[in-house]
Structure 1
Protein backbone atom coordinates (compact mmCIF):
# COMPACT_ATOMS: atom_id res chain seq x y z
CA UNK A 1 0.00 0.00 0.00
CA UNK A 2 2.83 2.44 0.76
CA UNK A 3 4.26 2.02 -2.75
CA UNK A 4 0.89 2.94 -4.30
CA UNK A 5 0.68 6.10 -2.25
CA UNK A 6 4.22 7.13 -3.18
CA UNK A 7 3.44 6.40 -6.83
CA UNK A 8 0.31 8.60 -6.70
CA UNK A 9 2.29 11.44 -5.12
CA UNK A 10 4.96 11.08 -7.80
CA UNK A 11 2.37 11.12 -10.59
CA UNK A 12 0.84 14.31 -9.15
CA UNK A 13 4.27 15.94 -9.30
CA UNK A 14 4.63 14.73 -12.87
CA UNK A 15 1.21 16.16 -13.82
CA UNK A 16 2.29 19.56 -12.45
CA UNK A 17 5.54 19.35 -14.42
CA UNK A 18 3.79 18.18 -17.59
CA UNK A 19 1.28 21.06 -17.44
CA UNK A 20 4.18 23.58 -17.51
CA UNK A 21 1.97 26.28 -15.97
CA UNK A 22 4.46 29.02 -15.13
CA UNK A 23 1.86 30.85 -13.05
CA UNK A 24 1.79 28.27 -10.27
CA UNK A 25 4.22 28.30 -7.39
CA UNK A 26 5.41 24.73 -7.90
CA UNK A 27 8.45 25.66 -9.99
CA UNK A 28 11.65 27.21 -8.73
CA UNK A 29 13.97 26.69 -11.69
CA UNK A 30 13.62 27.70 -15.34
CA UNK A 31 15.66 26.20 -18.16
CA UNK A 32 15.86 27.96 -21.51
CA UNK A 33 16.47 25.83 -24.57
CA UNK A 34 16.44 27.35 -28.06
CA UNK A 35 14.30 30.26 -26.85
CA UNK A 36 11.73 28.01 -25.12
CA UNK A 37 11.32 27.80 -21.36
CA UNK A 38 10.97 24.61 -19.35
CA UNK A 39 9.93 24.85 -15.70
CA UNK A 40 11.00 22.39 -13.01
CA UNK A 41 11.52 22.01 -9.30
CA UNK A 42 14.88 21.63 -7.58
CA UNK A 43 13.34 19.15 -5.14
CA UNK A 44 12.92 16.75 -8.06
CA UNK A 45 16.22 17.39 -9.83
CA UNK A 46 18.94 17.87 -7.21
CA UNK A 47 18.63 14.52 -5.38
CA UNK A 48 18.84 12.71 -8.73
CA UNK A 49 21.76 14.60 -10.27
CA UNK A 50 24.76 16.26 -8.66
CA UNK A 51 25.23 18.13 -11.95
CA UNK A 52 21.80 19.72 -11.53
CA UNK A 53 22.61 20.42 -7.89
CA UNK A 54 25.74 22.33 -8.96
CA UNK A 55 23.98 24.14 -11.82
CA UNK A 56 21.13 25.27 -9.63
CA UNK A 57 23.19 26.21 -6.57
CA UNK A 58 23.40 29.84 -5.49
CA UNK A 59 27.02 29.91 -6.58
CA UNK A 60 26.13 29.55 -10.28
CA UNK A 61 22.66 31.07 -10.64
CA UNK A 62 20.50 33.69 -9.02
CA UNK A 63 16.90 33.12 -8.03
CA UNK A 64 14.45 33.59 -10.96
CA UNK A 65 17.32 33.52 -13.47
CA UNK A 66 16.92 31.12 -16.38
CA UNK A 67 19.53 28.44 -16.89
CA UNK A 68 20.53 28.13 -20.55
CA UNK A 69 20.81 24.63 -22.02
CA UNK A 70 22.76 24.83 -25.25
CA UNK A 71 23.84 21.32 -26.17
CA UNK A 72 20.41 19.68 -26.40
CA UNK A 73 17.08 20.31 -28.08
CA UNK A 74 14.03 21.41 -26.13
CA UNK A 75 12.18 18.16 -26.88
CA UNK A 76 15.09 15.95 -25.84
CA UNK A 77 15.67 17.90 -22.62
CA UNK A 78 11.96 17.71 -21.80
CA UNK A 79 12.02 13.93 -22.32
CA UNK A 80 14.97 13.73 -19.93
CA UNK A 81 13.13 15.72 -17.25
CA UNK A 82 10.00 13.67 -17.92
CA UNK A 83 12.01 10.57 -17.04
CA UNK A 84 13.23 12.17 -13.82
CA UNK A 85 9.67 13.08 -12.84
CA UNK A 86 7.91 9.88 -13.92
CA UNK A 87 10.45 7.13 -14.59
CA UNK A 88 9.24 6.99 -18.20
CA UNK A 89 9.76 8.94 -21.40
CA UNK A 90 9.38 8.60 -25.17
CA UNK A 91 12.63 7.04 -26.37
CA UNK A 92 12.95 6.85 -30.15
CA UNK A 93 15.59 5.82 -32.67
CA UNK A 94 16.12 9.54 -33.31
CA UNK A 95 16.52 10.80 -29.73
CA UNK A 96 18.16 7.91 -27.90
CA UNK A 97 21.73 8.98 -28.68
CA UNK A 98 21.22 12.52 -27.38
CA UNK A 99 19.49 11.12 -24.31
CA UNK A 100 22.36 8.71 -23.60
CA UNK A 101 24.69 11.69 -23.71
CA UNK A 102 22.39 13.61 -21.38
CA UNK A 103 22.19 10.71 -18.92
CA UNK A 104 25.98 10.62 -18.79
CA UNK A 105 26.44 14.40 -18.56
CA UNK A 106 23.88 14.83 -15.78
CA UNK A 107 24.97 11.64 -14.00
CA UNK A 108 21.68 9.74 -14.01
CA UNK A 109 22.66 6.06 -14.31
CA UNK A 110 19.06 4.82 -14.15
CA UNK A 111 18.25 6.82 -17.26
CA UNK A 112 21.40 5.63 -19.00
CA UNK A 113 20.35 2.03 -18.24
CA UNK A 114 16.87 2.69 -19.68
CA UNK A 115 18.46 4.10 -22.86
CA UNK A 116 20.78 1.10 -23.07
CA UNK A 117 17.85 -1.30 -22.74
CA UNK A 118 15.98 0.56 -25.49
CA UNK A 119 19.06 0.54 -27.74
CA UNK A 120 19.35 -3.24 -27.44
CA UNK A 121 16.02 -3.52 -29.25
CA UNK A 122 16.75 -1.18 -32.16
CA UNK A 123 20.03 -2.57 -33.47
CA UNK A 124 20.08 -2.90 -37.26
CA UNK A 125 22.63 -2.53 -40.06
CA UNK A 126 21.81 1.17 -40.45
CA UNK A 127 22.59 2.15 -36.86
CA UNK A 128 24.93 -0.63 -35.67
CA UNK A 129 28.13 1.38 -35.99
CA UNK A 130 26.65 4.42 -34.26
CA UNK A 131 25.33 2.23 -31.46
CA UNK A 132 28.79 0.66 -31.17
CA UNK A 133 30.32 4.12 -30.85
CA UNK A 134 27.92 5.09 -28.05
CA UNK A 135 28.21 1.73 -26.26
CA UNK A 136 31.99 2.11 -26.24
CA UNK A 137 32.05 5.84 -25.43
CA UNK A 138 29.61 5.55 -22.52
CA UNK A 139 30.79 2.18 -21.14
CA UNK A 140 27.52 0.33 -21.66
CA UNK A 141 28.76 -3.25 -21.26
CA UNK A 142 25.57 -5.12 -22.12
CA UNK A 143 24.98 -3.03 -25.24
CA UNK A 144 28.63 -3.30 -26.26
CA UNK A 145 28.49 -7.09 -26.05
CA UNK A 146 25.27 -7.28 -28.08
CA UNK A 147 26.41 -4.82 -30.73
CA UNK A 148 29.74 -6.62 -31.18
CA UNK A 149 27.92 -9.90 -31.76
CA UNK A 150 25.57 -8.17 -34.21
CA UNK A 151 28.45 -6.58 -36.12
CA UNK A 152 30.35 -9.87 -36.28
CA UNK A 153 27.32 -11.67 -37.69
CA UNK A 154 26.52 -8.88 -40.16
CA UNK A 155 30.02 -7.84 -41.14
CA UNK A 156 29.46 -8.61 -44.82
CA UNK A 157 26.63 -6.05 -44.87
CA UNK A 158 28.65 -3.45 -42.97
CA UNK A 159 32.08 -3.86 -44.58
CA UNK A 160 31.43 -1.38 -47.41
CA UNK A 161 29.69 1.14 -45.19
CA UNK A 162 31.08 4.67 -45.25
CA UNK A 163 30.50 4.79 -41.51
CA UNK A 164 32.87 1.85 -41.01
CA UNK A 165 35.61 3.76 -42.78
CA UNK A 166 35.17 6.77 -40.48
CA UNK A 167 35.42 4.80 -37.22
CA UNK A 168 38.24 5.68 -34.88
CA UNK A 169 41.08 3.18 -34.42
CA UNK A 170 39.94 2.03 -30.97
CA UNK A 171 36.48 1.19 -32.33
CA UNK A 172 37.87 -0.81 -35.26
CA UNK A 173 40.22 -2.65 -32.90
CA UNK A 174 37.34 -3.46 -30.54
CA UNK A 175 35.26 -4.82 -33.43
CA UNK A 176 38.15 -6.96 -34.71
CA UNK A 177 38.82 -8.40 -31.25
CA UNK A 178 35.12 -9.20 -30.86
CA UNK A 179 34.94 -10.85 -34.28
CA UNK A 180 37.97 -13.00 -33.41
CA UNK A 181 36.37 -14.06 -30.11
CA UNK A 182 33.07 -14.88 -31.78
CA UNK A 183 34.80 -16.80 -34.60
CA UNK A 184 36.78 -18.86 -32.10
CA UNK A 185 33.62 -19.57 -30.11
CA UNK A 186 31.80 -20.70 -33.26
CA UNK A 187 34.74 -22.94 -34.24
CA UNK A 188 34.74 -24.47 -30.76
CA UNK A 189 30.98 -24.99 -30.93
CA UNK A 190 31.32 -26.73 -34.32
CA UNK A 191 34.08 -28.98 -32.95
CA UNK A 192 31.90 -30.01 -30.01
CA UNK A 193 28.98 -30.80 -32.33
CA UNK A 194 31.07 -33.11 -34.54
Structure 2
Protein backbone atom coordinates (compact mmCIF):
# COMPACT_ATOMS: atom_id res chain seq x y z
CA UNK A 1 0.00 0.00 0.00
CA UNK A 2 1.32 3.45 -0.91
CA UNK A 3 -0.05 6.20 1.25
CA UNK A 4 0.39 9.87 0.32
CA UNK A 5 -0.62 12.60 2.70
CA UNK A 6 -0.63 16.38 2.54
CA UNK A 7 -0.72 18.56 5.62
CA UNK A 8 -3.64 20.99 5.66
CA UNK A 9 -3.24 24.01 7.88
CA UNK A 10 -6.39 25.50 9.33
CA UNK A 11 -7.03 29.09 8.38
CA UNK A 12 -6.87 30.22 12.00
CA UNK A 13 -3.83 28.12 12.95
CA UNK A 14 -1.40 30.35 14.88
CA UNK A 15 1.16 28.01 16.43
CA UNK A 16 3.48 25.44 14.89
CA UNK A 17 3.08 23.11 17.84
CA UNK A 18 -0.46 22.22 16.90
CA UNK A 19 -0.89 18.88 15.15
CA UNK A 20 -1.79 19.40 11.47
CA UNK A 21 -4.67 17.64 9.81
CA UNK A 22 -3.93 15.38 6.88
CA UNK A 23 -5.60 14.64 3.61
CA UNK A 24 -4.76 11.07 2.71
CA UNK A 25 -4.87 9.22 -0.58
CA UNK A 26 -4.00 5.56 -1.00
CA UNK A 27 -2.53 3.71 -3.95
CA UNK A 28 -2.83 -0.03 -3.47
CA UNK A 29 -0.96 -2.67 -5.38
CA UNK A 30 -1.12 -6.40 -4.95
CA UNK A 31 2.37 -7.90 -5.06
CA UNK A 32 0.85 -11.19 -6.19
CA UNK A 33 -0.78 -9.81 -9.35
CA UNK A 34 0.72 -6.40 -10.12
CA UNK A 35 4.18 -4.99 -10.60
CA UNK A 36 4.98 -1.99 -8.44
CA UNK A 37 7.49 0.46 -9.87
CA UNK A 38 8.98 3.39 -8.01
CA UNK A 39 8.32 5.54 -11.10
CA UNK A 40 4.60 4.88 -10.63
CA UNK A 41 4.81 6.26 -7.11
CA UNK A 42 6.69 9.38 -8.20
CA UNK A 43 4.28 10.04 -11.05
CA UNK A 44 1.30 9.74 -8.73
CA UNK A 45 2.92 12.03 -6.15
CA UNK A 46 3.68 14.66 -8.81
CA UNK A 47 0.05 14.72 -9.88
CA UNK A 48 -0.95 15.01 -6.26
CA UNK A 49 1.43 17.92 -5.64
CA UNK A 50 0.18 19.81 -8.69
CA UNK A 51 -3.22 20.11 -7.06
CA UNK A 52 -1.97 21.02 -3.59
CA UNK A 53 0.28 23.74 -2.30
CA UNK A 54 1.83 21.75 0.54
CA UNK A 55 4.53 19.10 0.01
CA UNK A 56 3.57 15.47 -0.19
CA UNK A 57 4.77 12.87 2.30
CA UNK A 58 4.92 9.30 0.98
CA UNK A 59 4.72 6.31 3.29
CA UNK A 60 5.34 2.79 1.97
CA UNK A 61 3.44 0.09 3.81
CA UNK A 62 4.10 -3.59 3.08
CA UNK A 63 1.56 -6.20 3.95
CA UNK A 64 2.55 -9.81 4.55
CA UNK A 65 0.46 -12.80 3.61
CA UNK A 66 0.17 -15.61 6.14
CA UNK A 67 -0.63 -18.15 3.47
CA UNK A 68 2.31 -17.33 1.19
CA UNK A 69 4.39 -20.31 2.37
CA UNK A 70 1.51 -22.65 1.61
CA UNK A 71 2.04 -21.93 -2.08
CA UNK A 72 5.65 -23.14 -1.96
CA UNK A 73 5.88 -26.91 -2.45
CA UNK A 74 7.11 -29.27 0.23
CA UNK A 75 8.92 -32.37 -0.94
CA UNK A 76 9.12 -35.85 0.51
CA UNK A 77 12.17 -37.29 -1.23
CA UNK A 78 11.53 -40.79 0.07
CA UNK A 79 8.29 -41.02 -1.92
CA UNK A 80 8.02 -40.71 -5.71
CA UNK A 81 4.70 -38.94 -5.36
CA UNK A 82 6.30 -36.53 -2.90
CA UNK A 83 8.97 -35.40 -5.35
CA UNK A 84 7.33 -34.24 -8.62
CA UNK A 85 9.43 -34.24 -11.81
CA UNK A 86 11.83 -36.79 -10.31
CA UNK A 87 13.67 -38.78 -12.96
CA UNK A 88 16.38 -40.51 -10.95
CA UNK A 89 16.54 -42.60 -7.79
CA UNK A 90 19.49 -42.12 -5.46
CA UNK A 91 20.00 -45.36 -3.57
CA UNK A 92 21.92 -44.58 -0.39
CA UNK A 93 22.47 -47.51 1.95
CA UNK A 94 19.17 -49.02 0.81
CA UNK A 95 17.22 -45.79 1.24
CA UNK A 96 15.77 -44.58 -2.07
CA UNK A 97 15.55 -40.83 -2.64
CA UNK A 98 13.66 -39.45 -5.64
CA UNK A 99 15.34 -36.46 -7.28
CA UNK A 100 15.69 -34.53 -10.52
CA UNK A 101 18.81 -34.89 -12.67
CA UNK A 102 18.82 -31.34 -14.00
CA UNK A 103 18.52 -29.79 -10.54
CA UNK A 104 21.30 -32.00 -9.20
CA UNK A 105 23.51 -31.17 -12.19
CA UNK A 106 22.98 -27.42 -11.76
CA UNK A 107 24.28 -27.56 -8.20
CA UNK A 108 26.91 -30.29 -8.53
CA UNK A 109 29.81 -30.71 -10.95
CA UNK A 110 29.92 -34.40 -10.11
CA UNK A 111 26.27 -35.00 -10.96
CA UNK A 112 26.59 -32.82 -14.06
CA UNK A 113 29.37 -35.06 -15.36
CA UNK A 114 27.55 -38.19 -14.20
CA UNK A 115 24.30 -37.43 -16.01
CA UNK A 116 25.43 -35.38 -19.01
CA UNK A 117 28.77 -36.93 -20.02
CA UNK A 118 29.68 -40.36 -21.29
CA UNK A 119 29.35 -42.16 -17.96
CA UNK A 120 27.33 -45.33 -17.48
CA UNK A 121 25.04 -43.48 -15.06
CA UNK A 122 23.85 -41.23 -17.90
CA UNK A 123 21.05 -43.59 -18.91
CA UNK A 124 20.39 -45.19 -15.53
CA UNK A 125 17.27 -44.40 -13.56
CA UNK A 126 18.72 -45.58 -10.24
CA UNK A 127 22.16 -44.62 -8.95
CA UNK A 128 23.87 -46.22 -5.97
CA UNK A 129 25.77 -43.71 -3.83
CA UNK A 130 28.23 -45.31 -1.45
CA UNK A 131 29.52 -44.09 1.92
CA UNK A 132 26.87 -41.38 2.24
CA UNK A 133 24.35 -40.70 4.99
CA UNK A 134 20.81 -40.65 3.51
CA UNK A 135 19.54 -38.20 6.12
CA UNK A 136 22.37 -35.77 5.37
CA UNK A 137 21.62 -36.10 1.67
CA UNK A 138 17.98 -35.24 2.32
CA UNK A 139 19.20 -32.05 3.99
CA UNK A 140 21.24 -31.32 0.85
CA UNK A 141 18.16 -31.82 -1.34
CA UNK A 142 16.14 -29.49 0.87
CA UNK A 143 18.81 -26.83 0.39
CA UNK A 144 18.82 -27.00 -3.41
CA UNK A 145 15.09 -27.51 -3.96
CA UNK A 146 12.71 -24.48 -3.82
CA UNK A 147 10.79 -25.76 -0.83
CA UNK A 148 8.93 -24.30 2.13
CA UNK A 149 10.39 -27.17 4.09
CA UNK A 150 13.94 -26.03 3.40
CA UNK A 151 16.51 -27.20 5.87
CA UNK A 152 18.16 -24.81 8.28
CA UNK A 153 21.91 -25.26 8.64
CA UNK A 154 22.74 -25.66 12.30
CA UNK A 155 25.35 -27.16 14.61
CA UNK A 156 23.79 -30.61 14.45
CA UNK A 157 23.91 -30.98 10.65
CA UNK A 158 26.50 -28.58 9.25
CA UNK A 159 29.40 -31.06 9.23
CA UNK A 160 27.40 -33.80 7.50
CA UNK A 161 26.07 -31.38 4.89
CA UNK A 162 29.53 -29.91 4.27
CA UNK A 163 31.06 -33.37 3.84
CA UNK A 164 28.59 -34.26 1.08
CA UNK A 165 28.80 -30.83 -0.54
CA UNK A 166 32.58 -31.18 -0.77
CA UNK A 167 32.34 -34.72 -2.14
CA UNK A 168 29.92 -33.73 -4.91
CA UNK A 169 31.40 -30.27 -5.59
CA UNK A 170 28.30 -28.34 -4.53
CA UNK A 171 30.03 -25.00 -4.16
CA UNK A 172 26.94 -22.98 -3.24
CA UNK A 173 26.03 -25.39 -0.44
CA UNK A 174 29.63 -25.33 0.78
CA UNK A 175 29.51 -21.54 0.87
CA UNK A 176 26.32 -21.64 2.97
CA UNK A 177 27.95 -24.02 5.45
CA UNK A 178 31.13 -21.95 5.62
CA UNK A 179 29.12 -18.79 6.19
CA UNK A 180 27.23 -20.46 9.04
CA UNK A 181 30.43 -21.63 10.74
CA UNK A 182 32.34 -18.38 10.15
CA UNK A 183 29.56 -16.25 11.64
CA UNK A 184 29.02 -18.52 14.63
CA UNK A 185 29.30 -16.75 17.97
CA UNK A 186 30.92 -19.75 19.62
CA UNK A 187 33.62 -21.50 17.62
CA UNK A 188 34.40 -25.12 18.42
CA UNK A 189 37.24 -27.56 17.88
CA UNK A 190 34.98 -29.14 15.26
CA UNK A 191 35.03 -25.89 13.26
CA UNK A 192 38.84 -25.86 13.20
CA UNK A 193 39.03 -29.54 12.23
CA UNK A 194 36.54 -29.02 9.39
CA UNK A 195 38.45 -25.94 8.22
CA UNK A 196 41.76 -27.81 8.31
CA UNK A 197 40.39 -30.88 6.54
CA UNK A 198 38.64 -28.99 3.74
CA UNK A 199 41.10 -26.07 3.55
CA UNK A 200 38.85 -23.17 4.56
CA UNK A 201 41.37 -20.42 5.50
CA UNK A 202 38.95 -17.86 6.95
CA UNK A 203 37.23 -20.41 9.18
CA UNK A 204 40.59 -21.81 10.24
CA UNK A 205 41.76 -18.33 11.24
CA UNK A 206 38.63 -17.56 13.27
CA UNK A 207 38.38 -20.92 15.03
CA UNK A 208 42.09 -21.41 15.77
CA UNK A 209 42.09 -19.50 19.12
CA UNK A 210 39.31 -21.76 20.40
CA UNK A 211 41.16 -24.86 19.21
CA UNK A 212 44.44 -23.76 20.86
CA UNK A 213 42.71 -22.81 24.11
CA UNK A 214 40.80 -26.06 24.43
CA UNK A 215 43.89 -28.06 23.49
CA UNK A 216 45.88 -26.29 26.23
CA UNK A 217 43.12 -26.92 28.76
CA UNK A 218 43.10 -30.63 27.95
CA UNK A 219 46.90 -30.83 28.35
CA UNK A 220 46.80 -28.98 31.69
CA UNK A 221 44.16 -31.40 32.89
Q: TM-score, normalized by length of structure 2? A: 0.56
Aligned position for 2:85: 26
SS, match of residue 97 in structure 2: strand
Seen in structure 2, the aligned counterparts of structure 1 residues 122 and 37 have a Cα distance that, compared at 3 Å, is farther
Select 2:133's aligned residue among 56, 62, 73.
73
CA deviations 1:2-26 (Å, max 9, x no partner) are xxx9xx9xx85x53x4465414761
The structure whose Rg is larger is 2
Q: 1:151, 1:158 within 8 Å by CA — same for their partners in 2?
A: no
Aligned to 1:96: 158
Partner of 1:84 in structure 2? 144
* Per-residue deviation, 1:52: 0.7
SS in structure 1 of the partner of residue 89 of structure 2: strand
Q: Summarize deviations over 1:138-172 as a string: whole Å, max 9, x none.
A: 121221111112234545324358xxxxxxxxxxx
SS state at 1:67 partner: strand
User: Does structure 2 conserve the Cα–Cα contact (< 8 Å) formed by 1:29 and 1:41?
Assistant: yes
List gaps (5 residues or longer) in structure 2.
1-30, 36-67
Alignment of 1:14-163 (within 5 A): 15=74, 17-18=75-76, 21-23=79-81, 26-57=85-116, 59-61=119-121, 63=123, 65-86=125-146, 88-120=150-182, 121=184, 123=186, 127-128=188-189, 130-159=190-219
**Higher share of residues assigned strand:** 2
Report which of the two has the higher share of helix: 1
**Take 2:163 and 2:169, find their aligned partners in 1: how far apart are those partners?**
10
8 Å CA contact 2:107, 2:171 repeated in 1: no
Computed over aligned residues only, the root mean square deviation of the Cα atoms, in angstroms, reads 3.2
Query: Equivalent residue for 2:4?
Result: none
Relative distance call for 1:19 and 1:100 in structure 2 (3 A) is: closer
- Would you say the 8 A contact 1:28–1:40 is kept in 2? yes
Distance 1:19 1:138, change over 3 A: closer
- Give distance in 1, aligned partners of 2:79 and 2:215: 51
Alpha-carbon displacement from aligned partner over 1:42-85 (angstroms, at most 9, x marks no partner)? 12111221101122346222645311122221110010111111
The size of the alignment, in residue pairs, is 150
